[in-house]
Amino acid sequence: MSAASAHLEQLPRSLQFTLGLGAVALAAFPFIGVDGQDYYIQMLSQMMILAIFAMSLDLLQGVTGLVSLGHAAFFGLAGYALAFITPDTGPVSLWWSLPLAAAGAGLAALVIGFFVVRTHGIYFIMVTMAFAQMIFYLFFDNKSLGGSDGIYVNFKPSTAIAGLTGGAELFDLENKVTFFYFTFVVLLLVYGFLRRVLFSPFGRTLAGIRVNEHRMRAMGYGTMWYKLTAFTLAGALAGVAGYLWAAQTGFVNPELLGFHLSAHAIMMVILGGMGNFAGAIVGAFAFEYLMHVFKDVTKHWQLLMGSFIVLVVILAPRGLLGLGQSLLNRMGNRAATAPAGAEERKQHV
């Protein structure tokens, strides 16, 4: 299978339309009255946060071809950053604490990246995991960093802007629906930004590194620096997600830095389909949803999840997004409008 067919970089119109419908449905959800509305709104907010996290990993995994098994470190670090800078007496301003937490995660990624981008393949996976485990145990074993119990974040960040809102909140993140929409907007912004990056000269360079790093170097690209930049950017965006997670749940613990979350993110990206960011979103939602379903069935939910992912990888190597595209094509072909189908055939050439 060629890498182009594995990466639906250009989303066919039919798929764009379907994803757009999904986004509209998501945005409309708070208006639909269902039992346990609050619970579902929080659950969807968390899914969106994990979708941002999965997209940040996709920049490395799907676009650049770097499989990081330590990406949760940057997610967790930014969450801890919010926990540490939120005073016991009141909220901290969103407007500087979010950029600070993301920059902190980015800085950590820059430092760790400086070492890991020199390695390739299996060594890259191992070294990213080793760094993340170091950070995990630093927090886990250190009482002053919250230890294994973690830390509470007692106040959601404040959105007041001095001199503009006169001390009042611009929008109230303590309100679950407001937080839901705030997360939704951040998700759209991160998606739009990463899609833009994907087709920028920088993004094309990263794709070139994935396909043939040796040739990129022979053509004059200092691939190490491009990989380091991607690693740093991915770390900062993972930080945005981790910050939101800490604010949403009001709690951070070492699990947010841990191996399991890193592995889940990899599975989300594979499940949804790599290298186009839309797949990462679909994968995050699907993974979280299935996890809830499987947890209701058995406490050994990992067994079911593992089987499901194996099935998807075998039956739909391009992930749920690729599967969706094939189904839409078949429907489209039946309706004798074949532009999307023609596109797929071209990719398989």
36 vs 220 by CB, closer to another protein: 220
Length of the chain: 349
Token pair of 168, please? 């009042």
* Cβ distance to another protein smaller for residue 166 or 201: 201
Q: How far is the CB of 212 from another protein (least distance, A)?
A: 5
Query: Which residue from 36, 90, 166, 220 is in contact with another protein, where contact means CB under 8 A?
Result: 220
**CB of 5: closest distance to another protein in angstroms?**
8
Residue with tokens 């209701």: 296
Residues 6+ apart with CB under 8 A from 184: 26, 27, 48
The count of residues interacting with another protein (CB under 8 A) is 31
Name which of 106 and 157 has its Cβ closer to another protein: 106
- 3 is an interface residue for another protein by CB under 8 A: yes
Should residue 199 be labelled a site residue for another protein when binding is judged by CB under 8 A?
yes
Q: Which amino acid is at 183?
A: T
Rounded least distance, CB 114 to another protein, Å = 17
Nearest to another protein of 2, 302 (CB atom): 2
Classify 318 as helix, strand or coil: coil
- Rounded to a whole number of angstroms, the distance between the first and last alpha carbons of the chain is 10
Angle between helices 121-140 and 72-85 (to 10 degrees): 30
Angle at 347 between CA 197 and CA 196, to 5 degrees: 10
Q: CB–CB of 253/142 below 8 Å?
A: no
Which CB, 103 or 309, lies closer to another protein?
A: 103
Exactly one of 15, 52, 63, 197 binds another protein (CB under 8 A); that residue is 197
Q: Which of 13, 118, 120, 196 binds another protein (CB under 8 A)?
A: 196
> Rounded to an integer, what distance in angstroms lies between the CA atom of residue 304 and that of residue 161?
47
> Which of 13, 118, 215, 330 is close enough to bind another protein by CB under 8 A?
215
Binding flag, residue 205, another protein (CB under 8 A): yes
Could you tell me the smallest distance in angstroms from the CB atom of residue 235 to another protein? Answer: 16
What span, in angstroms and rounded, lies between the C-alpha atoms of 329 and 349?
Answer: 17
- The least CB distance from residue 220 to another protein, in Å, is 4
* Near another protein by CB under 8 A: residue from 143, 214, 299, 334: 214
Residues 107-146 contacting another protein, CB under 8 A: none
Judge contact between 188 and 19, C-beta under 8 A.
no
Amino acid in position 326: S
Is 349 a binder of another protein (CB under 8 A)? yes
In angstroms, what is the minimal distance from the CB of 219 to another protein? 5
The residue range among 76-84, 212-220, 260-268, 333-341 that interacts with another protein, by the rule CB under 8 A, is 212-220
Q: What's the closest the beta carbon of residue 198 comes to another protein, in angstroms?
A: 9
**What is the torsion angle, in degrees rounded to the nearest 10, for the CA atoms of residue 278, residue 282, residue 284 and residue 286?**
-170
* CA distance linking residue 181 with residue 72, whole number of Å: 24
Smallest separation (angstroms) from another protein to the CB of 179: 29
Q: What is the DSSP string of 89-140?
A: TS--BHHHHHHHHHHHHHHHHHHHHHHHTT--HHHHHHHHHHHHHHHHHHHH
Residue ranges in contact with another protein by CB under 8 A: 2-5, 196-197, 199-205, 207-208, 211-212, 214-223, 229, 346-347, 349
